[in-house]
Structure 1
Amino acid sequence: MNWHAMRAIYLFEMARTRRTLLQSVISPVISTSLYFVVFGAAIGSRIDEIEGISYGAFIVPGLIMLSLLTQSVANASFGIYFPKFTGTIYELLSAPISYIEIAAAYVGAAATKSIILGLIILATAGLFVPLQVAHPLWMLLFLVLTAVTFSLFGFIIGIWADNFEKLQLVPLLIITPLTFLGGSFYSINMLPPVWQTITLFNPVVYLVSGFRWSFYDVADVGVGVSLVMTLLFLAVFLAVVAWIFKTGYRLKT
């Protein structure tokens, strides 16, 4: 393993976050805080407890997951797209570093930034609502697995996209709607039976459900199912990244 090269890419990506602190950290935290104000205070005061949990506290895992998914995809996709845009990707591909090491460095940096942001939002949520984390180790496990999984997904998007519009297409039209419809702000048990079944085809349901279980011991689907589905998504995205580097898709032209 070329640890020196991996470290150089990783530190470069982390330094980019420090240079864009307002956009990378402060803006998502402020946006999430507004969700707490609108949903937790304004709307939450009109909603009874959900499964014995105050509505403001109930939506915390969903809000963290919303930021985690969008930021993981955005960080990883831009991180690999910019070298393609400037042409420096060819210098990277010709350097003595393997494809696995390149992907690990970019995905690792994107996941690290998303995890830090998720923990900051978790701390911020404690200022608005009383929080409890019933299973802290499980919470960290779901946090890390989700960040890595969707950083891989963002890495794939960054390679696939050939302009900035496509770079924003998937997060805006797919990730955000799926997160809103994936039980972030409600329990799917509140839906009619037909819609409960349809909602189970939304992959984000399993991520939010497992993450919420680590907080409050309540879940829309079994925690084992959530973990298996998260690992399945991780395996699928790893396979796609391996195929991209094996075939040179959108890299050799």
Structure 2
Amino acid sequence: MNFTAVGAIYRFEMARFFRTITQSLVSPVLSTSLYFVVFGTAIGSRIEEIDGVSYGAFIVPGLIMLTVMTQATSNASFGIYFPKFIGTIYELLSAPVNFLEITIGYVGAAATKAMFIGLIILITSFFFVDITIAHPLAMFAFLFLTCLSFALLGFIIGIWAGNFEQLQLIPLLVITPLVFLGGSFYSISMLPPIWQNITLFNPVVYLISGFRWSFFGTADVPIALSLGAISLFTLLCMTVIWWIFRTGWRIRA
């Protein structure tokens, strides 16, 4: 393992994050604060509790998941797409660095950024609602695995994308709708039976449910299924990345 190369990629990506701190950190926090104001106040005044939890506190895990999924994907996709765009990817590919080291550098930085933003949003939520974390270690584990898996997905998107429009296509048109329809602002038990069954085909449901369980001890699906879903998704993304570097798809053309 070439730790020097991994560290160089990681530090470069983290430096870019801090150079654009307003866009990278302040913007997500402000957006999440607006969600608290709109959903927590307007809707929360009509929905007092869900599963014994105040509505304002109930939406906290969903808001964190919404932010970290989109941020991890966007950061990782842009991180690998930009070297492709300016042509420096070939210098990286010709260096004595294997695909695992490249992936760890870019994906590790993107996951770190997303997790940092997620923790900042968690701290921000304490200013709006009274919240208690029932299983702190499980919360950190779910947060880390979510940031890692979606950073891997973003890495794949960055390699696939042929322009900046495609770079934002999947985060905006796929991930964000799946999060909104995955129980981020409601419990799927509130849906009619047929829609509950349909919602179970949404993979994001299992991530949000497991993360919410770590806060309140209640979940829409069993925790074992949540862990299995995120582990399978992570393994699938890693397999796709291995195949991309093995074949050179979209990176050597």
TM-score, normalising length from structure 1?
A: 0.99
Q: Please list, as runs of the form range in 1=range in 2, the aligned pairs for 1:142-221 lying within 5 A after superposition.
A: 142-221=142-221
**Mean alpha-carbon deviation: is it higher for 168-177 or for 40-49?**
40-49
CA separation in 2, counterparts of 1:99 and 1:237?
14
Report the secondary structure of 1:46's partner residue: coil
Q: CA deviation at 1:130?
A: 0.5
1:118 aligns with 2:118: yes
C-alpha distance in 2 between matches for 1:251 and 1:97: 15
Would you identify which runs of 4 or more consecutive aligned residues in structure 1 move more than 4 Å?
none
3-state SS of paired residue (1:133): coil
Residues of 1 paired with 2:116 and 2:240: CA distance?
Answer: 26
How much does 1:213 deviate?
Answer: 0.1
Tell me the CA shift for residue 224 of structure 1.
Answer: 1.0
Equivalent residue for 1:133?
Answer: 133
- Kindly report which structure 2 residues correspond to 1:202-241, keeping only aligned pairs within 5 A, or say none: 202-241=202-241
Q: What code does the residue aligned with 2:54 have? A: S
Corresponding residue number in structure 2 for 1:244: 244
The amino acid of 1:95's aligned partner reads: A
Residue 53 of structure 2 aligns to a residue whose secondary structure is coil
Query: TM-score, normalised on structure 2?
Result: 0.99
Q: Point out the more displaced range, 39-48 or 104-113.
A: 39-48
Aligned AA (2:154)? G
Letter in structure 2 aligned against 1:10: Y
Question: How many residues were matched structurally?
Answer: 253
State the match for 1:48 in structure 2: 48
Which residue number in structure 2 is paired with residue 9 of structure 1? 9
**1:48 CA drift (Å):** 2.5
TM-superposed deviation, 1:42? 1.4
Q: Which residue matches 1:61?
A: 61
Q: 1 CA distance for matches of 2:96 and 2:237?
A: 24
Q: Which runs of 5+ in 2 are unaligned?
A: none
Counterpart residue type for residue 140 of structure 2: L
Alpha-carbon deviation of 1:46? 1.1
Q: CA deviation at 1:110?
A: 0.1
**RMSD, aligned α-carbons:** 0.4
The answer to whether the aligner puts 1:18 opposite 2:10 as a matched pair is no
In 1: Cα distance, 2:181 partner to 2:51 partner: 19
Amino acid across the alignment from 1:176? T
